Each structure stands twice: as C-alpha cells, then as structure tokens.
Amino acid sequence: MTPETILYIIIAATVSLAVAVFMYGYRTTHSARHKWLFGTLRFFSFFLLLLLIINPKFRSETYTIEKPKLPVLIDNSASVTALEQRENAENFVGFLKSSEDLNDKFDIRYYGFGSELNTSDSLSFTERNTNIRKALSGVNAVYQSEIAPTVLITDGNQTFGADYEYAGTTIKNPVYTIILGDSTQYTDMRIEQLNSNRYAFLKNQFPVEVVLIYNGSETRTSDFVVTQAGSTVFRQTVSFTESNNSKIITFTLPANSVGLQKYSAHLVPVQEEKNKQNNTKQFAVEVIDQATNVLVVSSIIHPDLGALRKAITSNEQRSITFSKPAEALNKLDDYQLIILYQPDRSFSSVYSELSQLKKNTFTISGTETDWNFLNSVSGSFEKDATFQNELVTAAFNLNYGTFGTEDLGFDNFPPLNTAFGELVITVPHEILLEQYIDGIASGSALLATMELDGRRQAILDGEDFWRWRAQVYLKDGGFEAFDEFMGKLVQYLASNKRRSRLEVSHESFYYNNNPIKISAQYFDSNYVFDSRALLQIRVTNTETNEQFTFPMLLKGNYYEVDLNSLPAGSYNFTVAVDSETVSRSGNFSILDFNVEQQFLNADVTKLQRFVTNTSGEAFFVTEANKLQDALMKDERYQAIQKSEQKIVPLIDWKYLLLFIVLLLSTEWFIRKYNGLI
C-alpha cells in the first residue's frame, strides 16, 4: 500500500473512533457494559465501511507446482494395421497410462494423427494418409514455450506432406520415437510411383511414367502390364538385381474416346513376396476434346504473371498464353478469357477488339496502371486515382454468392500495392474481397465480379498477389488452396454458360486415399444464394445398386458433402433441394488405392536420423522400460514451482461485506433484546 492509502486508513480509524465515542460515550444513559459493547460494534462497522470507500489494494501470492508436459503422438494410420503393429501400439499406450512414475513426473497428453493432428487418443488405425511432419509441427507450436519432450509412436512411413526428417532443427523439444515394426528386409517388387496426367486431349497420346522398386538379393525378372477393360494396352519385361534395383518406365497411351478412361497397372509378383498389394495401382485419365484457353495481355514483367501461370495451369484442363498488347490483337478470338494485367494506353486496340468480340475479361490493376486510360475504356468501373500508392489488405465477403469458394485467411495475407483512390463499379456486381486500409474498411472493392448482357468481368485492384500464393505455402505447406481459389474464379469467368438455380461441382474420378467432396450452390428465384436450404445427395453404386443418402452441409457460400466413407467403384448421384423440384445429376468413380498398405516394414533408419537431430532417442515398441528410464533420469525434465502475484482490491472481498452486515445486525438485535429500540 502507498503512504497515502495508509494515511487515509488512519484518518478512517480516527473518525470511526470519534463517532463511536460520540454515540455511546458522550451523554448516554446506557450501562458501562453496553457502552463498551455498542461502541466497539459501531467502531468496527463504521471503520470497515470507510475502509471499503478507501478500497486499499493488497498483494496476494500463490505457489503452484507445474509438471513438464509429455505429448504422446500416436500414428493412427492404416499402415500400422498392415504391418501387424496395432496390438503393440495399443499395449504401449496402455503402459504409458498405467505407469505411476511417468504420470507423477509428467503431465501426459495424448494425440492421434493421420492426415491431421487430433486431440483425442481414440485409436482406430484406419486413417488413409500419414503426415508426420504436420503432427510434429502442430505439437511444437503448442508447446514451444514449455518443457515438453515428445513421444512419437509410429512406423515412420509418411505418405504425403513435407519430409519430417528435416524438421528436427525446427523442433524445440527432444523427440523420443517408438518404432512400430522392425528393419527386416523382405523380398518385394512394387510400383513405387505412377505419374500420369489427369486430363488428356482427344486423338492425342498422353504420357505415363512408372517407378518400379525391387528389394532382394537375387536376380528377378517380371512383367509390367497395363490393362484397360480387360485388354492389355502395354507390356514390358523388367529385370532386377540387388544393385540394379529400380526401373523407370516411360510410355504413352492413346486417348481415342472422350470421357473417363480407367487403367490398371500391375507388376507380376514373385511367389515369396509378403506384400502383393503394392504390385497393383489403378489410375485414370479424363479425355476431353478441348481446353479452356486463357490469354494474359501485359506490357510489363512482374512476379504476378508467374503466379497466374502456376495457379491456372495447376488444372490440366486450362492452358495459358502470355502476349504483349500489339501481339495479342489478332488472336483474341481464340481464347475464352482475356486477363488484362495493368493496362495502359498500349492496350487501346485490344480494348476496341474486345468490345466487338464481347469477350470475358479479368482486369488486374496496380501501380503501373494508367487509370486515365482505363476509366475511358472500361465502361464498368472507374477510379479517381492519384500519383500516390497505398498498401491495402483483403477481407473475404461471406455473403458472396456468384460461385462457391472459401476464405483462405485473406485478412492475414500480405498487403497488395495499388494506386490511391476510390474504385467505383458502375454496373451490377458482387464483391468477393473487400478492401481495407490500416485495418479500416475503405468502402471499395478489392476483387469483384460483374455480369452484364451475357459478358462476365472481374477487377482485382492490387498487384503483388504472388505474395498471397507464397503465404498459402507457408501456412499449408502447399499452393493448392490458392490455386483452387484462382481456378474457380477463372472457371467462372471463362464460361458463358447461364447459371441455374442449382450448381453442382465435382470431379469425374477420385482416389480413395484423397478427399472425395462434392459441392453445390442453390439460389432462390431471384438468384440470390440461399443459405437456409436443405440439400441432400443420393448416391447409387452402379455395380451393386446400393444407395446412400447424405445431407450436404453449409460451408460459407456453398454446400459440401464428404463421401470418403464410400468404397471404390462407379457411382451415379443426384443432388436435390427439399420442398423444391430443382435437382442435378451426375456420375463419378472412386479408384481403389490404399497407400498405407504399400509398406513392408518400419522406416527405422529415417526415424533414427530424425530423433538424433532433436537430441532425443529411438526405441523399438518392445523397449517401453528403456523409454521410461530415459525420461525419468533426464535432468532436463523437472517440475517448476511458479509463483503468481495478484493485486486484490479490498472491495473484492465479499466476506468483508458480510462481516459488516453481521456487525450491524448484532448491534440491532442486542439493542432490541434490551428494549433500547
């Protein structure tokens, strides 16, 4: 307490004493015993009331013992079952839960992981993918500022994501790996990887590349065969030795008919192979008769152009061409979408030709844009731009309904550079991304789409969106989310197809170890997205006629259903709206490929290298006691005594108020009992 507060308390005590003496010590007829009793009660009640008014503050200090954390990451993927390690994994987790020594020393937290990290320790060992790097990064982010050695229970076989071996230097706490399986080498021939295009063009040849691997000490000869509908379309004999244990086969197949073409690649196994499931792989190609052609017209060189190329061509159904304004003039009619990057007066002839052809356009402006020229030719938007530039950030419009997309976390993306001024769109439009300046909404659009007289347009008022693509990579470890966002925008702009009230988006085929999702948008009679509709999808297996019905869940500005529970096969589907006659039908195929069943044993060598970089240790699943001894004896993991100081104002003491009420009540009852009231 401050000296000033102490002075106030002394004054309060003096005043309280004076009041008590005046009331019960000066000219009173009470007996001496009652004088002292009533005076004391009145002094304390009055003093405590004044004390509450002064409200002094006291320091409160508490001590707690905090045990070091011990996160346990458990590989919940199907490869654990395939390697016959499920029981060992469950027994090891049971040992950790029952160990009194470990539970006394550590605060143990259990996590399961497959493609994602889950906080539950419920184990099914059915996850179709394994991303060890993502699980480690997630735990490292949670416990980065704490003492938290990590126990990783896994076979070390990762099926996608960045390689976990190189994450050791970025992880703060040591990692102790429990290896599920052994390093025994078995004779095995397998299809390690098969690469093919997802799309091919009619009457063309499409390439296929296959990587074959052999584990064994003897010379072996086998046949690699590709079949379609029971007919062999490619065959090649391959030979392996202990030193020459890999083959890369590259060949082409004809695309003779439009539609989905399914193939089966098979490497004939030898008799003693333990795992024959990795000898076969299904793949498919969708044959199309034309691609969506996109032309980018630009008079400058900018990193954004590279980001456009990567995003647009991530889907093989789309091609992209770059051209200067003078070169583009005679070929505009060959493209479904024209992207105009930072137009200036050299685009004058291009705009005249686009007006006559009524082509769909996507305008991207920036610091090199000539807004005086663009205002005179755009006809859809204008900007009273100055010679100053400004940095603007984006905010996703959740009410956007022109096509289905989702927020990538735009509010955390790096700012774009644009010319200072307000963008005014003069035709009917929808804003996809709103513009913010220093965290305040500017009232202008950053990205908007327009549709008028059958012609579709979009405007992105900012350059340097290549940084957005890089940010997505830093966040997700891949560019897919950004490329998909740009792909949906390009798909909408490149099409002149009239929108229906129910739009359904799906792939022609899926691999069953990847997400199988179908999305839809439903619009009311005024073509406004209806977020209150009830959509259902009915799926029928064309081979067994078995039917499945799933609700479609609202996700932002579209509905989506996850069909990963369906087995491999060919399916027809119908999306319908409850209480409406609107529906859409289609078909897709699910190709059978379980990447988690491709492994023969644990990746012992990689796991040992990884834990060495984290200052941890590796143990086999049968060495539970060794792990316990290592954790118990390590002096780095000690409980910490923490003290917490709190400043507590007197007015927060509820019992003090109760005590004042008790004092006043006691005085009243005594006076009442003695007939003094």
pLDDT in tens, 457-466: 999 999 999 9
Return the beta strands (E) in 523-593 as ranges. 535-541, 547-555, 558-562, 569-577, 583-591
Secondary element (H or E) of residue 292: strand 292-298
Residue 250: how many other CB atoms lie within 10 Å = 9
611-631 average pLDDT score: 93
Annotation: CATH topology of 68-182+601-638: Rossmann fold (3.40.50)
Q: What CATH homologous superfamily does 188-288 map to?
A: Immunoglobulins (2.60.40.10)
Coil, helix or strand at residue 545:
coil
**Higher-scoring residue by pLDDT: 168, 127:** 127
Closest CA to 604 of 263, 207, 244, 181: 181
What is the secondary structure of 209-266 as a DSSP string?
A: EEEEEEE-SS-EEEEEEEEETTEEEEEEEEEE-SSS-EEEEEEEEE--SSEEEEEEEE
* Percent of all residues in the chain with a pLDDT value above 70, rounded to a whole number: 98
Pick from 334-338, 406-410, 638-642: least confident: 638-642
Is the C-alpha dihedral spanning 588, 589, 594, 598 positive or negative?
Answer: negative
Q: Which residues pair with 58 in a beta bridge?
A: 648
Q: What CATH homologous superfamily does 292-494 map to?
A: Class I glutamine amidotransferase (GATase) domain (3.40.50.880)
As a whole number of angstroms, the distance between CA 437 and CA 439 comes to 5
Residue with the two structure tokens 């083959």: 247
Q: What does the buried/exposed string (b/e) look like for 303-329 if buried means 16 or more CB atoms within 10 Å of the residue's CB?
A: ebbebbebbbeebbebebebbebeebb
Contact 611/617 with Cβ under 8 angstroms?
yes
Coil, helix or strand at residue 562:
strand
Residue 580 banded pLDDT, cuts 50, 70, 90? confident
Per-residue pLDDT at 144 = 87
As a whole number of angstroms, the distance between CA 586 and CA 166 comes to 44
For the cut 80, the answer to whether the pLDDT of residue 293 exceeds it is yes
Distances (CA, A) of 436 to 135, 389, 399, 661: 34, 14, 17, 56
Q: Token pair of 102, please? A: 């470990």
Q: Which residue intervals of 363-479 are DSSP H helices? A: 371-377, 466-476
As a whole number of angstroms, the distance between CA 364 and CA 296 comes to 10
Where do the structural domains in the chain lie, given as residue ranges?
Answer: 3-59+648-673, 68-182+601-638, 188-288, 292-494, 502-592
Helix crossing, 32-54 with 3-24: angle to 10°? 150
Query: Is the domain defined by 502-592 classed in CATH 2.60.40.10?
Result: yes
For the cut 80, the answer to whether the pLDDT of residue 68 exceeds it is yes
DSSP state of 565: T
Residue with the two structure tokens 């409406």: 580
Per-residue pLDDT at 665 = 83
Closest CA to 127 of 180, 65, 77: 77
As a whole number of angstroms, the distance between CA 183 and CA 422 comes to 65
Residue with the two structure tokens 């940084």: 467
* Percent of all residues in the chain with a pLDDT value above 90, rounded to a whole number: 54
Question: Which is it for strands 175-179 and 150-154: parallel, antiparallel or unpaired?
Answer: parallel
Q: In this predicted model, what pLDDT tens digit does every residue of 15-33 receive, in sequence order? A: 888 887 777 766 666 677 7
As a whole number of angstroms, the distance between CA 228 and CA 213 comes to 23
Beta-carbon-side half-sphere exposure of residue 38 (alpha carbons within 13 Å)? 22
As a whole number of angstroms, the distance between CA 487 and CA 615 comes to 44
Q: What is the mean pLDDT of the chain?
A: 89
368-377 long-range Cβ contacts below 8 angstroms, 24+ apart: 368/300, 368/342, 368/344, 368/463, 369/342, 369/343, 369/344, 369/419, 370/343, 370/344, 370/345, 371/419, 371/421, 373/343, 373/344, 373/345, 373/347, 373/348, 374/343, 377/347, 377/348, 377/351
Phi and psi, residue 534, nearest 5°: -110, 110
Q: Is the pTM of this model over 0.75?
A: no
DSSP state of 552: E
Phi and psi, residue 115, nearest 5°: -80, -25
Question: Which is it for strands 535-541 and 569-577: parallel, antiparallel or unpaired?
Answer: antiparallel
Per-residue pLDDT at 121 = 64
435-446 average pLDDT score: 91
68-182+601-638 and 292-494 agree in CATH topology:
yes
Per-residue pLDDT at 29 = 66
For the cut 70, the answer to whether the pLDDT of residue 535 exceeds it is yes
Q: Measure CA 665 to chain center.
A: 62
Per-residue pLDDT at 385 = 84
For the cut 80, the answer to whether the pLDDT of residue 38 exceeds it is no
Per-residue pLDDT at 676 = 66
Pick from 153-162, 425-434, 663-672: least confident: 663-672
Contact 332/350 with Cβ under 8 angstroms?
yes
Q: Which residues pair with 431 in a beta bridge?
A: 448
As a whole number of angstroms, the distance between CA 467 and CA 482 comes to 11
For the cut 70, the answer to whether the pLDDT of residue 444 exceeds it is yes
For the cut 80, the answer to whether the pLDDT of residue 389 exceeds it is yes
Q: In this predicted model, what pLDDT tens digit does every residue of 338-384 receive, in sequence order? A: 999 999 999 999 999 998 999 999 999 999 999 999 999 988 999 98
Residue 372 exposed, middle or buried by CB count within 10 Å (0-12, 13-18, 19+): exposed
Closest CA to 139 of 175, 188, 165: 175
Closest CA to 490 of 521, 433, 449, 434: 449
Q: In this predicted model, what pLDDT tens digit does every residue of 170-201 receive, in sequence order? A: 888 999 999 998 777 778 899 988 999 888 88
Residue 61 banded pLDDT, cuts 50, 70, 90? confident
515-531 average pLDDT score: 87
Q: Token pair of 121, please? A: 């320790």
Per-residue pLDDT at 517 = 93
Per-residue pLDDT at 671 = 74
User: If you average pLDDT over each of 211-225, 584-598, 655-669, which comes out highest?
Assistant: 211-225
